[in-house]
A and B are shown apart, each in its own frame.
Chain A
Amino acid sequence: DAGVTQSPTHLIKTRGQHVTLRCSPISGHKSVSWYQQVLGQGPQFIFQYYEKEERGRGNFPDRFSARQFPNYSSELNVNALLLGDSALYLCACSLVPGYNTEAFFGQGTRLTVV
């Protein structure tokens, strides 16, 4: 069974551009969360989706948006890129959001904004 897959793995964009990151969860995992990790820090929560509905949003500007598709895959969109958006973007999936549910991560997308 395939693990969590993210695409692309690396990306270089220019300030002001738009980017779309993609995530395919483990089969049967219906909850997808997005995190941003800046070098030297722990991941910061961006969004959580479950059954195609947004279940949570972190403290990120409206330039960040996401959605989940009927097959439970997800996209993270970032508009008007800033240099500070350069980070490792992580997608995590779990069966359901819950007390004893473990989250598994994809390999991440390394975004560099120049």
Chain B
Amino acid sequence: QKEVEQNSGPLSVPEGAIASLNCTYSDRGSQSFFWYRQYSGKSPELIMSIYSNGDKEDGRFTAQLNKASQYVSLLIRDSQPSDSATYLCAVSAADSNYQLIWGAGTKLIIKP
């Protein structure tokens, strides 16, 4: 059974601080890694994808991947109240036709 684990939170972070979200996965064959943001009652919105070890930066967001440790993280710099949402980690692999396997999400609250 392929699993993706996330701390459910809520994670409370002061406005302007760095929010750090973590995700671990069980399948060593996982090849593609995604972070989605989901506001309450809305559908997931892709914010970052990462495919190789290391860091990938896009604006205030940085995704970090460590395949040896089976660990992927998302850093949000200069957190804003609008970043308050549930962040979902998803992974995919060739042997499952790149179906997305999802974590349950971490609820992030940015306190003004």
Contact = CB atoms under 8 A, between A and B. Distances in A.
B96 interface: yes
Chain B: number of interface residues, binned into ranges: 20 to 34
Interface string B73-112: 0000000000000001010001011111111110000000
B46 A104 contact: yes
Interface in A74-114: 88, 90, 92, 97-108, 110
Contacts, number: 63
B42 interface: yes
A72 to B, nearest CB: 17
B96 A56 contact: yes
Interface of B: 4, 31-32, 34, 36, 41-46, 49, 51, 88, 90, 94, 96-105
Interface of A: 33, 35, 40-45, 48, 55-56, 58, 88, 90, 92, 97-108, 110
